[in-house]
Structure 1
Amino acid sequence: MGVVIRTAGADDRERVVRLLDEAFQDDPVSSWVFPGTEYRRLTHHRLMAAFTDAVLADGRIDLTEDGAACALWLPVPAGDEQPAGGPAEDIPALVREAVDPDNERVELIARLTEGIHPTGRAHEYLWMIGVAPGRQGEGLGTALMESVLDRCDSEGTPAYLEASSARGRALYERLGFEFTGQALQLPDGPLMWPMWREPRND
């Protein structure tokens, strides 16, 4: 039986935020941004809400019909154009102010990932993909990604992401992503792996 996927709308916001919050509670990068289990439990959802709002405004959120998994995609234009917000706005600082003003890591993670993001070619950016903890290993994440990657292939569009775990990196490699060659080492924290996928012609 296939996985039914639909595009999330504003009515799905709380469901998506809750799903991402649950899916990333134990993620190495989320644990670095929000150190301490209790602190993360109380604060992490605000960052997921900021991400959800940004992608609802400027990208697309794919959601499985049963609400167990979602993928946040943002189209990134070629060159140095700003995909959202415009050059006059300091997005990382605004996110920190909205999410947790006393936590500099909220701003730092945005600046660091911004700094390694490739420019020059238009591409689809997989901002996040989350699967409910009890539903991982069922192929939901793969199904979500393949629906977009098939379109990327037919349109000749590359895709990009940053893997936040070794397990995620292995999944993305199976889907045709390649490590760009330089990992991002978070200060006193885990590695992130930038990965790029050229469209397939076969």
Structure 2
Amino acid sequence: MGVAIRRATEGDRADLVRLLDEAFMDDPVSGWVFPGLAHRRRRHAGLMAAFIDISLSEGYVDITEDGAAAALWLSVPARPDGSAEDEDDDGPAQLRAAVDPDNERVEEIGRLTAEAHPSDRAHEYLWMIAVDPARQGQGLGTALTQPVLDRCDREGTAAYLEASSDRSRVLYERLGFTCTGSGIALPDGPTMWPMWRDPQGM
């Protein structure tokens, strides 16, 4: 039986924040950004909300009809000069100021992932994919991701993501992604894996 998927709207924001907060609360990268559990419980949802707001305004969010899983995507244009972002756009610092001003790691992870992000080719960026912890392992992540990857294949567009764990890296490898380097080693923390997928079947 197929999984019903639709494009999320602003009306889904509260449900999306709750979903991402629960799905990533125990993620190793979230644990590094917010190393204390009590602090994480206070601030983590604010970071997830910021990610959702950016995705809803600058990209798109696909969600299963039952709200059990969602994928945040951004369509990234090529920058021929190789720059990762506009010089006037200090997104990581702005995100830190809005979410957790005293937490340097909110800004640091933004800078580290921006430095690793390819900029010379247009691509679809799978920023985050969240599945309700009670529904993980049921194929919802693949069901959400595959339609966008199929469109990428039809249109000759690449895709990119950062896997936050070895488990997710293996999943993305099954979908055609390959690691682009040795990974993003967070200081005294886990390694994130930048992964690239060229269009397939062309």
TM-score, normalisation: structure 2: 0.96
Whether 1:97 aligns to 2:88 is no
Whether 1:59 aligns to 2:59 is yes
**Structure 1: how far apart are the matches of 2:83 and 2:7?**
24
Q: What residue is the counterpart of 1:8 in the other structure?
A: 8
CA RMSD of aligned residues (A): 1.4
TM-score, normalisation: structure 1: 0.96
Judge conservation of contact 2:84–2:118 (CA < 8 Å) in 1: no
Judge conservation of contact 2:4–2:64 (CA < 8 Å) in 1: yes
Q: SS at the partner of 1:121?
A: coil
**Structure 2: how far apart are the matches of 1:194 and 1:177?**
9
How many residue pairs align between the two structures? 201
Residue 153 of structure 1 and its aligned partner are, at CA, apart by 0.5
Stretches of structure 1 that go unaligned for 5 or more consecutive residues are: none
Judge conservation of contact 1:164–1:192 (CA < 8 Å) in 2: yes
Cα distance per residue 1:39-98 (max 9 Å; x no partner): 1111100000000000101101000000000000000000158898x5423111100000
**Structure 1: how far apart are the matches of 2:82 and 2:6?**
29
Q: What residue is the counterpart of 1:162 in the other structure?
A: 162
Judge conservation of contact 1:23–1:130 (CA < 8 Å) in 2: yes
**Structure 1: how far apart are the matches of 2:11 and 2:84?**
24
1:1-202 matched pairs, under 5 angstroms: 1-79=1-79, 80=81, 86-201=86-201
Cα distance per residue 1:12-36 (max 9 Å; x no partner): 0111111000000000000000012
Identity fraction in percent:
65
Are residues 196 and 147 of structure 1, via their aligned partners in 2, closer, same or farther at CA, if it must alter by over 3 Å? same
| Regions of 4+ moved over 4 Å | 80-84
Stretches of structure 2 that go unaligned for 5 or more consecutive residues are: none
Judge conservation of contact 1:69–1:131 (CA < 8 Å) in 2: yes
**Structure 2: how far apart are the matches of 1:82 and 1:24?**
30
**Structure 1: how far apart are the matches of 2:84 and 2:67?**
27
